[in-house]
Amino acid sequence: MKYCTRCLYPANHPLYLTFDDHGVCSGCRVHEEKDILNWEIRKKKLDKILESYRNKSGNSYDCIIPVRGGGDSYFVTHVITKIFKLNPLLVTYNHEYNTKTGIRNLANLLTVFDCDHINYTLDPEFVRRLVRHTFRKFASMYWHILAGTLTFPVQVAVKFKIPLIIWGVHGWSDQVGMFSHLDEVEMTEKARKEHSLMGIDARDIISEKDGVTRQDIQPFIYPFDEEIERVGVRGIYLSNYIRWDSKKQHERMIKLYGYETAKQQRTFNTYEDVDCFHSAGTHDYIKFIKYGYSKVSDHATREIRLKRMTREEGIEMVKKYSEKIPSDLPVFLKWSGIKRWKFFSYLDKWRDKRIWQKDKYGKWVLKDSVVNHIKDLNVSKVRLVKIEDCKFIITPSREPGEKEDKYILMGRGYIDKYNYKAVFDDQLAIQKNLKKTKRHISRLLEKDWGNFFIKDERTPKEMVFCKKCVMSSSKPGLYLNEDGICGACVSVEKKKLINWDKKKAELKQLCDKYRGSNGNGYDCLVPVSGGKDSMYQVWEMKKIYNMKVLAVCIVPHLQTSEGIANLNSLVKKLNVDLIKISLKPSVFKAIRRKTFVKLGNPNWADHASTFSGVARTAFMYQIPLIVWGEDIAVEFGGTTSKKRVASAKDIIKNDLILNRSVKDFYDDIIKPENTYFYKYPQDEDWDKRKIKSIYLGYYHNWNGYEHYLLAKKYGFQSRKLGCLSGNILNYDNIDEKLCEIHIWIKFLKYGFWRPTDQCCYHIWNGRMSREKAIRLVNAKQYEFPAEYYRDFLEFHGITEKQFWKIANKYRNRNIWHKVNGKWKLKYILK
């Protein structure tokens, strides 16, 4: 085998190399441009390109950046947001071989770079089928990752009409010198297929035998030329405009943003592949079996060209790493269900016979290796002079001692001081300090914070309790009839008269109409949170009505570990695809803070972004049907409509939104261009797109407890440490941490909160007597939700004093008074 006289690359490099008269490869020659080109001029050129795209998209984002928890993601995002000050939409195709380090890196990236983000996760069972198929067919466990990573951003670009995609390094130029930097080569469908996907396109992998259908592979179908042209999508590589030095770039990212690195088993480069179990493990070993060289040659070659390693030092690295059997192989075999001997026998067919042969015992051995080419002719003639040392840093782990022993399908979305682990919470610490925190808070609760309280048209003057349940007339919009029975109880009675079989038939008809109506796309969209109800909704649409479901989750900023686990179970056990939308933290915080101060309603941003983000996604994907859960106005007797309706198009007008739009909160931080997911589509858009939005509660007798029982069968976990303060259920609203205090403020305004709501559920569904409910409410309602108190303060950046001053302003003096120095309700439930 011929090897480059300067680097370590062999002639059988799959991306094709040429050698010059001195035996130097095309990759090394193009690399020389890095020290010749005027990078200041190149950067100006980039500036010009970026400038022409600024705000051009008209829908708020300037460009798209594909990101993951490793690789060049930090650097690219840094360049685009901090140096060129563009407003990107970050996108991730979830490769599903995630390590905890990768999860933490991605969560940290979203937190520190403060951008909107979309993450696409495919049904892991399908991914498993697909990987088995691509492995058998062409010995690749990585095809879906390459295809997904290169397709999803382009799909999003077309759907969101964002014409510019920013990629990091153009690997083919950097490795083998396929193009000069001056060619300014861009990402195209042809390049994607020929260079990245080994000539194999999505349509080539449909297989009836392995259960990979045309509909399944939709996520890997590149948009049509006409769509690309209509939006004018182009994908540029930063490495054509910035002198690329991955090692130096990573070291800056470690310093500036706390990027985490990790030891790698088959290479000395600890920076790049930290997010994936297999990239530098089994996947790399497969490359070695195919071509007789592996990542360590790529990494050493790069360092040789950047004059940080001699060719001889590089060869030592190859000796040390290339033949190592990867320790992650058992994880892959177990997951994929491929037997070890089969794994090797499939691979044997793909050995490049130019480099592999069988010895007399029938064992595969390398015919040659760069190790045999240390002193080739011309090596000393073309040698680059080493100018610095090559040390790769291993950063301390954020979760020291944590084992990396299985894939994390999805983990935490953001991190902060208290919530920084890939999945787990420090709940035990919370529990341990709970008593102390409660004592501390009880003093603050009763302290004199002034006598002023904020009144509006919704501020109740009194509390009258329903004679059937324990709900109070102080609930906005709730009415009591002349018998003293509340609207919700009336609604419960009416529900008993509904012919549910007929409703079911209506739903079936609806599903029959929409099933398959969207070509190879999704039939319906189900908003999910990781709660029991969303699991039920997905289950019903998928298992009962056989719909192709896309689940959409607006990621809670402070997720609990149960919330994370439940979202994982939903996707894994109900086998659906999921889009996770993460919102720019600064804007989300600013809106929450503002609505907390101005309206005593910190969760407004959560509600607005859920309703709008879900609708936006349905519009983007042209999904004809959105399936919401219950209509709160009907089930709980709210204001908006007392009539039971199927259509959820007006969900944005419900009680949670308080007739406000995000425009009401615009300021220096909350701006039109960064509130895309808070804006609900207009009525005329709904008509134009012919998208239907429904409440499942209209067709199905809603029963939270039964949903809980069903969800449990699919892996739903209730709260491990039992009920939160003030709660009587351990399975309701347990997926995130910011909601509890929001609900508690309701207690100040209206005189009831969780215990009343939860007891009412039980009464309405015939599982609790009114007497028991009275006892429970009176015993529980004065508890303060101390568990996530410090999270709440920290998240909104407010002090305790500010918090209590604001909270006190919402304490409704019509219904509250002080008894023996303690705040008590004037109206006692009995």
Contacting residues toward Zn ion, per CB under 5 A:
4, 6-7, 25, 28, 466, 468-469, 471, 486, 489
- 95 neighbors 69 (Cβ within 8 angstroms): no
- 3 state SS of 736: strand
Q: How far is CA 647 from CA 677, 683, 693, 806, in A?
A: 21, 13, 6, 37
- 815 neighbors 469 (Cβ within 8 angstroms): no
Shortest distance, CB of residue 476 to Zn ion, whole angstroms? 15
Please report the sign of the dihedral spanned by the C-alpha atoms of residue 263, residue 266, residue 267, residue 268: positive
Shortest distance, CB of residue 6 to Zn ion, whole angstroms? 5
Given the complex with Zn ion, which of 470 and 696 has the nearer CB atom?
470
Given the complex with Zn ion, which of 468 and 719 has the nearer CB atom?
468
Shortest distance, CB of residue 740 to Zn ion, whole angstroms? 24
- 206 neighbors 141 (Cβ within 8 angstroms): no
- 294 neighbors 287 (Cβ within 8 angstroms): yes
Shortest distance, CB of residue 121 to Zn ion, whole angstroms? 39
Given the complex with Zn ion, which of 11 and 597 has the nearer CB atom?
11
Name every residue whose Cβ is closer than 8 Å to that of residue 316 and which is 6 or more positions away in sequence: none
Shortest distance, CB of residue 18 to Zn ion, whole angstroms? 10
In this structure, the chain runs to a length of 830
Given the complex with Zn ion, which of 7 and 657 has the nearer CB atom?
7
- 3 state SS of 472: strand
Question: What are the contacts of 666-674 at 24+ separation with CB within 8 A?
Answer: 667/590, 667/594, 669/586, 669/587, 669/590, 670/587, 670/590, 670/591, 670/594, 671/587, 672/60, 673/55, 673/60, 673/61, 673/87, 674/60, 674/87, 674/116, 674/584, 674/587
Shortest distance, CB of residue 770 to Zn ion, whole angstroms? 9
Given the complex with Zn ion, which of 130 and 759 has the nearer CB atom?
759
Given the complex with Zn ion, which of 25 and 579 has the nearer CB atom?
25
Q: How far apart are CA 541 and CA 101, in angstroms?
A: 35
Shortest distance, CB of residue 9 to Zn ion, whole angstroms? 5
Shortest distance, CB of residue 292 to Zn ion, whole angstroms? 16
Shortest distance, CB of residue 725 to Zn ion, whole angstroms? 25
- 152 neighbors 93 (Cβ within 8 angstroms): yes
Shortest distance, CB of residue 697 to Zn ion, whole angstroms? 18
Angle separating helix axes 282-291 and 340-348, nearest 10 degrees: 40
Given the complex with Zn ion, which of 105 and 781 has the nearer CB atom?
781
- 210 neighbors 135 (Cβ within 8 angstroms): no
- 3 state SS of 450: coil
Beta bridge partners of 202: none
- With vertex at residue 90, the alpha carbon angle to CA 85 and CA 91, rounded to the nearest 5 degrees, is 160
- 261 neighbors 395 (Cβ within 8 angstroms): yes
Shortest distance, CB of residue 15 to Zn ion, whole angstroms? 12
Given the complex with Zn ion, which of 379 and 723 has the nearer CB atom?
379
811: burial class by Cβ within 10 Å (0-12, 13-18, 19+)? buried
Given the complex with Zn ion, which of 485 and 615 has the nearer CB atom?
485
Q: How far apart are CA 814 and CA 557, in angstroms?
A: 35
Q: How far apart are CA 596 and CA 608, in angstroms?
A: 14
Given the complex with Zn ion, which of 355 and 486 has the nearer CB atom?
486
Shortest distance, CB of residue 465 to Zn ion, whole angstroms? 8
Given the complex with Zn ion, which of 164 and 379 has the nearer CB atom?
379
Given the complex with Zn ion, which of 7 and 786 has the nearer CB atom?
7
- Phi and psi at residue 64, in whole multiples of 5°? -115, 135
Shortest distance, CB of residue 639 to Zn ion, whole angstroms? 16
Given the complex with Zn ion, which of 191 and 466 has the nearer CB atom?
466
Instruction: Write the DSSP string, 593-620.
Output: HHHHHHHS-TTHHHHHHHHHHHHHHHHH
Other C-beta atoms lying within 10 Å of the C-beta of residue 569: 19
- 122 neighbors 148 (Cβ within 8 angstroms): yes
Q: How far apart are CA 462 and CA 517, in angstroms?
A: 52
**Burial track 812-823 (b if 16+ CB lie within 10 A, e otherwise):** bebbbeeeeeee
Q: Which two tokens stand for residue 424?
A: 């787990």
Given the complex with Zn ion, which of 383 and 805 has the nearer CB atom?
383
Instruction: Write the DSSP string, 360-414.
Output: TTS-EEES--GGGGTT-TTTTTSPPPP-S------PPPSSTT----S--SS--S-
Shortest distance, CB of residue 485 to Zn ion, whole angstroms? 6
Shortest distance, CB of residue 468 to Zn ion, whole angstroms? 5
Given the complex with Zn ion, which of 25 and 570 has the nearer CB atom?
25
Shortest distance, CB of residue 470 to Zn ion, whole angstroms? 8
Q: How far apart are CA 55 and CA 672, in angstroms?
A: 11
Given the complex with Zn ion, which of 454 and 464 has the nearer CB atom?
464
